[in-house]
Amino acid sequence: MGMFFPLVLSCLVATGVAFQPEFSRYSQRSFLSLRLRRGIEKLSLSTLEAETPRGGSRRERIGEAAANAIAVPLLSAGLLGSPRQVRASALPAGGKSKVVVAGATGQTGMRVVNQLRALSNVSPVAAVRDPQKGEKIFGADVEKLKLDVVKDSPGKMAEALKSAGADALVCAVGFSGGNPFEWSKQAHAVDNVGTVALIDAAKEAGVKKFVLITSILTDGRAWGQEKSPGFQVTNAFGGVLDEKLTAEKHLKSSGLDFTIVRPAGLRGDGPSRSLVVTKENSLNSGEVSRDTVARVCVSALFAPSSEKKIVEIVETENVKATPEVDWFSVA
């Protein structure tokens, strides 16, 4: 029996059931409680007024969020011929900001890089284990940085980040399955130890903003979700949620300006439903497009209200979309 469960999960992966958290495809109707629905419906611009971010009037903050809402998707789609300059609160106001994306060749990291490369005031840096793979994916116009969160020491990664001139970092790393008997080891090495090392490296390198992608239910035990289907199935992959939680806690105590984005089950197709952004420990199922995850991460670099926030995101047909000006005010 001890060998049976990992073998079953291995078969699920081999037959096309996507790896965590893509396979968490439970009923769209059950992912929010009535209390959460009411909370989302009450969100308004007044929540933004309660925020006290660094710099900028209320009108400027709303204008910035509106500009990002329009600029990011249109620029990514190539529909704007003359990209506007978008100011990033945590990044230098003048010149181009260097944003390093760790895990850039992964499905979500790739989308983050492509959205960043469409912005005229950002120079993305694709941090990859295999530079040749990075070259094939992004071509010559995106800078590559050789970086391995498992093999490289924090000091070595810090030097790499310094050499790249990193102003901000988006961490989209995560172990990718494989041998089920190695899942625990891999999840610990990548989602815990490797990510913690990258956080330490970012701090040593003077990185000004760290955006970390984890998952809904990362802190599921804290709100009684350890027996929920979503938690049990996801955490069966090497205890990955527990490993991610360790990295989250380390980032929160690091002193860095951070945003943690916890997406629901990941979809490979484009956005087709309303995006709902909630505070931490609110969602236990649902799905969200990887494109949307990337967009929220990019917005976190630009929104003053994203400082030291944890948000959870899901796309649904049943709840009104959260306005972008409120994405980080809900936390």
Span 88-130, pLDDT tens digits: 456 765 678 999 999 999 999 999 999 999 999 999 999 999 9
Q: State both tokens at 139.
A: 């071509």
Span 142-177, pLDDT tens digits: 999 999 999 999 999 999 999 999 999 999 999 988
Full DSSP string of 140-160: TTSEEEE--TTTS-HHHHHHH
Q: Is 8's pLDDT higher than 90?
A: no
**Alpha carbon distance 44, 65 (integer Å):** 14
Q: What is the pLDDT of residue 93?
A: 58
Name the nearest CA neighbour of 292 among 122, 170, 112, 80.
Answer: 112
Q: Are the C-beta atoms of 184 and 194 separated by less than 8 Å?
A: no
As a whole-number percent, the residues of the chain with pLDDT over 90 amount to 68
- Kindly report the number of other CB atoms within 10 A of residue 44's CB atom: 12
pTM over 0.85: no
Span 179-227, pLDDT tens digits: 899 999 999 999 999 999 999 999 999 999 999 999 999 999 999 999 9
Beta strands in 177-264 (DSSP E): 209-213, 258-263
Span 18-38, pLDDT tens digits: 333 333 333 333 333 333 333
Upper half-sphere CA count for residue 68 (Cβ side, 13 Å): 28
- Tell me which amino acid residue 270 is: G
Domains, in order of start, for the chain: 23-79+94-326 (3.40.50.720)
